[in-house]
Amino acid sequence: MLHINPDKVCFIILRVRELQQEDLIEDPEDEEDVDAFDLDHQEAFDELDGHEALEANPLQEELEGFIEGLSEEEKVELVALTWVGRGDFTHQEWDEATEAAADRQNERTVDYLLGIPNLADYLAEALDAFGYSCADFDEGRM
């Protein structure tokens, strides 16, 4: 069962897609090095130190601040949703996914998530698996 409000996830999806359109987050279709950050979740946090941070802009700073402002439980669920959408876990394995995400939770969660080229797609897939959609998302409710 999701504790994070699906509207929060939809807001993140929307912002990530906007950043991709502005080429501020890697678009996997435009990059040769697609797998640079799309690592097995057990290795991904350790790999972050070897990559330079993206140059920030107001939209990126807003998204980073939004994710940083989430509760620890919401951050854990956001990572777990990413893994469900990526296929590392199924929605039936939600408890295992959240437990694994909680075990790996640290101060680099924002960098980890924003370094995943298909983040918006993974989150959308995971929401769909739980029966939610961003089709009726209204940013004004945030």
Give the integer Cα–Cα distance in Å for 118 and 121.
5
Report the pLDDT value the prediction gives residue 42, as an integer from 0 to 100: 52
Give the integer Cα–Cα distance in Å for 110 and 33.
21
Report the pLDDT value the prediction gives residue 35, as an integer from 0 to 100: 47
Tally of CA atoms within 13 A in the half-sphere of 13 that contains its CB: 25
Q: For residue 141, is pLDDT > 90?
A: no
User: How many Cβ atoms sit within 10 Å of the Cβ of residue 125?
Assistant: 17
As a whole number, mean pLDDT of residues 98-123 equals: 95
Q: For residue 124, is pLDDT > 70?
A: yes
pLDDT in tens, 45-76: 555 555 555 455 888 999 999 999 999 999 99
Which segments of 20-67 are extended strands (E)?
none
Q: For residue 25, is pLDDT > 80?
A: no
The whole-model pTM stands at: 0.76
Q: Does residue 24 contact residue 59 with C-beta atoms inside 8 Å?
A: yes
The secondary structure of 106-136, three-state, reads CCCHHHHHHCCCCHHHHHHHHHHHCCCCCCC
**Nearest by Cα to 41 from 135, 129, 122:** 122
Q: For residue 39, is pLDDT > 80?
A: no
Q: Angle 110-116-117 (CA atoms, 0-180°, nearest 5)?
A: 135
Report the pLDDT value the prediction gives residue 4, as an integer from 0 to 100: 96
